[in-house]
Structure 1
Amino acid sequence: MLTAITGINWGDEGKGRMVDLISQEYDIVARYQGGNNAGHTVKNERGKFVLNLLPSGILRPNVVCVMGNGMVIDPHHLDGEINKLREQGISITPANLKISDRATITMPYHVDQDGLEEARLSKTGAQFGSTKRGIAYTYGDKYMKKTLRMGDLLHLDDSVRKRLVTMVDSKNLVMEGSYNAAPISVDEMWAWLEKYAAIFKDYICDVGQYLADADAAGKKVLFEAQLGALRDIDFGIYPYTTSSNTIGAYAPIGAGIPGHKLTNSVGVMKAYSSCVGDGPFVTELAMTEEEKHALREAGHEYGAATGRPRRVGPIDLVASRYGVFCQGCDEVALTLLDVLDYMEKIPMVTAYKLSDGTTTTRFPMGEALDTAQPVVEYLPGWHCDITAARKWEDLPKEAQNYVEYLEKAVGCKITYISVGAEREAYIHHVV
């Protein structure tokens, strides 16, 4: 069984929490794209954990975690993340963590270039809202064939050093010529690679073969995405996207088994909207600054990877319907329903009014999206604490009505409803 858990919106939907929950039914959890610009926060009986690179299944002792070829991996960050989890009592060994030899390495100069370019763009107000983790520059170099891969750490020989010299020479033309930055030292980069080769050599392997063998043996694999459909490089709000494919259809490819097909696609959708970064976000226009502040505080909406305050607004059903379509969802997990407990009435963006005066329920792109205005409808709130609910019948009628309205609006059944941050704080709703 091959299941993908993906984001329906802009990211930050609570995918890590859902992977942590659902992974109890799986043998393997695999990340298939992105890098340490992800921020998955998981709270369970062992504490609170913030994961950037590691799959959320790492918190379950009987699950094997895979970092796929579609990822970009910063070994320095990964080492720090692993050590922090170990300090929190999480065991991480080559037995429960396997890193693809085809995954691309994020080098220190990728991070430096990201920061320099974002600073340059910020002077003109044209920045993308980058997390400054070097993700775009790693992917860019990957497609120009100017990167190293994790498998190269297994044989740091003269041929790898020769490639590194070529890459550094090319990068220095940009760093010195465009940014007036200090030149990159080949020797320093080589020493950096040697350091992390010693740390990760036992973790690096052919994860594609591992996953293929596991699937053939009847093992259950859960694919974990970073960000959401609206940040996909092809189908998202380009250019305000990430640099990889976040959609579920890419999961087998990015994990290492491109000939396999998904069995099930679970989309994760928040009960309201939030995003980190720049770009069109129509739903935030539906609330006053005071209302957005109240929602941000109620949902603790600050980026797990960056600490930045997230932009917030009501649930956007236009964007969510499009996200369900992109992810090919068989079912939806609705998260953070409890955050709306304080509201007397629940706002929802049900359509967009375009600059030409027309109204649409289809998600637009380009200038139409940039200038769209939200059409808002309301449902009565439940105005009580629902965090103790564990069955559908425990929810107030108004909360049930809200969930059922969302199901019809996005065209997909909602089978999981999160009512709190803790692992057990959810309702499995199967009709």
Structure 2
Amino acid sequence: MNRNIVILGMQWGDEGKGKIVDFLTSHANYVVRYQGGHNAGHTLVINNKQIILHLIPSGILHDHVICILGNGVVISPSNLLQEMDMLSELNISLENRLFISHNCTLVLPYHEKIDILREDMLKNKCIGTTRKGIGPAYEDKVSRRSLRICDLYNTSLLKYKLKNIINYYNFQIVNYYKSDPVDYNIILEDLLKLKELFKNKIRDIPLILNQAYDNNKKIIFEGAQGALLDLDHGTFPYVTSSNSTIGGIFTGSGACFNQIHNILGIVKAYCTRVGSGPFPTELKDEMDEYLCQQGQEFGSTTGRRRRTGWLDLVLLSRMVMLNSVSSLCLTKIDVLDELSEIKVCIAYKNKNTDQVISNPFEYLNWEELKPVYKNLPGWKTSIKGITVFSDLPDALKNYISYIENYIGNNIKIDMLSIGPERIETIIIRDVFNL
């Protein structure tokens, strides 16, 4: 029986999903991306060489794997072409290995420009987007005015739709934001060049996935961002513009519910967040600097410094519940190697009254929350080079057990990432055959 697996980030993104997808892909036939755009970045380290992918699934580094961009992905043509060129320079073939849904929405220059203008106008109240035009592209999709890849192959319709969209955006750009308009002719010329470049990659993705399932192929569904950035279930309005929780798979790829067998939640051993928004366990002291430097916490898409904080078990438990997680993978454990004490958030209190807050999403006022911590002993030794669970320090095993016991419901940590390299991974239980 095929065992299809979902890789989902359980925090605010940057949990190390790309490495885990890459590691597991040796056992898979397909890797599917189903939401987000080039605002997400997966950093892989293979033989000390760093490779950053923003759109193309991490599985492309395995030459036996077919990679898919589902209809829920918004695609920047220029960014996709850059990635394709970069992989070509690395002698990684995309021929019959990269397929794209004809329903993917395009991210174009006017999306990026309006995104930047909005963020600049909001100043210190901005969302903290990647300024890549992702939100405006999804707005166009919801408003049913977006250009999709299929529109490239109907030139008269493409010209008509593009003219209307650019008029819509230029009115705002010029009259409200007092900036220079985007040029219809330049954008049209660039779009017309794409027809042949993408033509042999466009496929009926739901049909491919259902045929793969019927033929007993193994499929990995690769999430972008993290569950706490979900448009509906995240820390709104400081969220992304797509559904990064489990439901995004079905709307964003056309896969069927019964084709999912295991949902692997990826959890960083501490928390990070890029941009604005609630972050109850955020650190603003020497420990923040330590985690940032030891963990190299700088965004792969923007280069921005990530905010850091202790692991939040309250929010993790909620995301495990919302996503029907089967098991967990704990990443970046090695970053904590030198610490004598490690904290995990186990509850919240009101800063002013000390009232215990059991559900921050129900309480709503994140600014009034303060975390309640459990202090756990660190292992104070390097775990580099360890390949089996039994050889790990007892303090680290106890840290893992504490997380599992807090979450409950027999959810286990089945994988550990103890370094950036593919081989620096410990398998406790086979996630494909649970």
TM range (shorter): over 0.9
Q: CA deviation at 1:183?
A: 2.3
Q: CA deviation at 1:410?
A: 2.2
- Say yes or no: does 1:342 pair with 2:338: yes
Contact residue 249 and residue 262 of structure 1 kept, 8 A: no
Structure 1 residues 255 and 235: alpha-carbon distance in aligned structure 2, compared to 1, 3 A threshold: same
Give SS of 1:300's match: coil
Tell me which residue corresponds to 2:104.
Answer: 103
Tell me which residue corresponds to 1:308.
Answer: 304
Q: CA RMSD in A?
A: 1.5
Scaled by the length of structure 2, the TM-score of the pair is: 0.95
Tell me which residue corresponds to 2:413.
Answer: 414
Q: Residues of 2 paired with 1:233 and 1:249: CA distance?
A: 11
Give SS of 2:64's match: coil
Give SS of 1:364's match: helix
Q: Which residue among 249, 254, 257 is the counterpart of 1:256? A: 254
Structure 1 residues 209 and 261: alpha-carbon distance in aligned structure 2, compared to 1, 3 A threshold: same
Give SS of 2:20's match: helix
Letter in 1 for 2:248: Y
Contact residue 151 and residue 205 of structure 1 kept, 8 A: no
Question: Gaps (5+ residues) in structure 1?
Answer: none
Q: CA deviation at 1:415?
A: 0.2
Tell me which residue corresponds to 1:428.
Answer: 427
234-243 vs 360-369, greater mean Cα deviation: 360-369
Q: Residues of 1 paired with 2:150 and 2:206: CA distance?
A: 13
**Number of equivalences:** 425
Q: Residues of 2 paired with 1:200 and 1:364: CA distance?
A: 43
Question: Gaps (5+ residues) in structure 2?
Answer: none
Contact residue 274 and residue 306 of structure 2 kept, 8 A: yes
- Say yes or no: does 1:289 pair with 2:291: no
Tell me which residue corresponds to 1:136.
Answer: 135
Contact residue 354 and residue 368 of structure 1 kept, 8 A: no
Q: Residues of 2 paired with 1:56 and 1:378: CA distance?
A: 36
Tell me which residue corresponds to 2:375.
Answer: 378
Tell me which residue corresponds to 2:30.
Answer: 28
Q: Deviations over 1:85-114 (max 9, x none)?
A: 222332222x11001101100011101111
Q: Residues of 1 paired with 2:348 and 2:30: CA distance?
A: 41
Tell me which residue corresponds to 2:17.
Answer: 15
Letter in 2 for 1:159: L
Tell me which residue corresponds to 1:149.
Answer: 148
Q: Residues of 2 paired with 1:127 and 1:59: CA distance?
A: 36
Q: Which residue among 47, 50, 60 is the counterpart of 2:62? A: 60
Letter in 1 for 2:103: R
Contact residue 5 and residue 266 of structure 1 kept, 8 A: yes
Give SS of 2:308's match: strand
Moved over 6 A (4+): none
Query: Counterparts in 2 of 1:15-414, with a 5 A limit?
Result: 15-45=17-47, 47-93=49-95, 95-122=96-123, 125-153=124-152, 155-258=153-256, 260-284=258-282, 287-355=283-351, 356-364=353-361, 367-411=364-408, 412-414=411-413
Q: CA deviation at 1:198?
A: 2.8
Q: Residues of 1 paired with 2:367 and 2:228: CA distance?
A: 14
Letter in 2 for 1:252: F
Give SS of 2:415's match: strand
Identical aligned pairs, as a percentage? 36
Letter in 2 for 1:166: N
Q: CA deviation at 1:31?
A: 0.3
Letter in 2 for 1:104: T
Q: Residues of 2 paired with 1:426 and 1:169: CA distance?
A: 51
Q: Deviations over 1:346-379 (max 9, x none)?
A: 1111111124431234343564323211112211
Q: Deviations over 1:269-316 (max 9, x none)?
A: 0111111110010111xx442111011111111111111110001111
Letter in 1 for 2:213: D
252-261 vs 38-47, greater mean Cα deviation: 252-261
Structure 1 residues 299 and 361: alpha-carbon distance in aligned structure 2, compared to 1, 3 A threshold: farther
Q: CA deviation at 1:197?
A: 2.1
Q: Residues of 1 paired with 2:287 and 2:214: CA distance?
A: 52
Q: CA deviation at 1:81?
A: 1.4
252-261 vs 60-69, greater mean Cα deviation: 252-261
Structure 1 residues 425 and 214: alpha-carbon distance in aligned structure 2, compared to 1, 3 A threshold: same
156-165 vs 353-362, greater mean Cα deviation: 353-362
